[in-house]
Amino acid sequence: MAIVVIGGHSRSVGKTSVVAGLIAALPEYDWTAVKITQYGHGVCSANGAPCDCATADHTWAISEEKDRGGESDTSRFLVAGAVRALWLRTEQGRLAEAMPTLRRRIELSRNVIVESNSVLKFLRPDLYVTVLDPGTEDFKKSAQEFLDRARAVILHDHANVGGAPWQGISLKPVLGRPVFRIAPPPYVTAEIVEFVRQRIESPAENQELRTEN
């Protein structure tokens, strides 16, 4: 089983579109797709709705998407061709509690693609790719923390990495890594697809990357 993780520095930079694009472009890998969402205070992990609950059973929840006609991100994964799509929701800082269950839910999968940054605290994927959009100023702490583990950057094409506007954020961890420029739509190019394919099918190289980190 190969595990691919797609992260990004903020919301709405195209992470979901990249995941869906890779699923559609590489259907032979029989993907199980996972979206991980961490909520702040006042949002219930059971259903993503606002609430004031503070009970232990609401710290995280995981569900399997069945609707191929919906507008949710996990529905998009199914429409793109994923064999299964899971949505894991947790309170901020409680992802560790949900990981044993997530591991059990994906253990029989042929290949897994995950939309998340924070999951890198608990998984050593075969490939982590980060999506950067210089037009979006926010830069998540989790994206900063794991930037050095990105084996490639998918970069929105209205600026270059050297001219990125983020204050106090160093992009040195990804200097020298492959940079794939996109001008959405589409979010996934033939070059990105081939890069991912090569990393999945090169176990020796993946082992080297794990050792390096």
Element (H, E) at 180: strand 179-182
Q: Where are the beta strands (DSSP E) in the chain?
A: 2-8, 31-39, 60-64, 84-91, 111-115, 127-132, 152-156, 179-182
**Is pLDDT larger for residue 91 or for residue 70?**
91
Average confidence score pLDDT of the chain: 87
Condensed to tens digits (0 to 9), the pLDDT of residues 13-68 reads: 999 999 999 999 999 999 999 999 998 644 444 444 554 444 355 689 999 999 99
Between 53 and 82, name the one with better pLDDT.
82
Each residue's pLDDT tens digit, 158-190:
745 455 578 888 899 999 999 999 999 999 999
Contact yes or no for 78/131 (Cβ under 8 A): no
How many domains, the chain? Answer: 1
Mean pLDDT of 181-203: 93
What range defines the domain where residue 57 resides? 2-212
Report the distance separating Cα 101 and Cα 104, nearest Å.
5
What CATH number does the domain containing 140 carry?
3.40.50
| The predicted structure's pLDDT at residue 135 | 86
Q: How many CB atoms lie within 10 A of CB 210?
A: 12
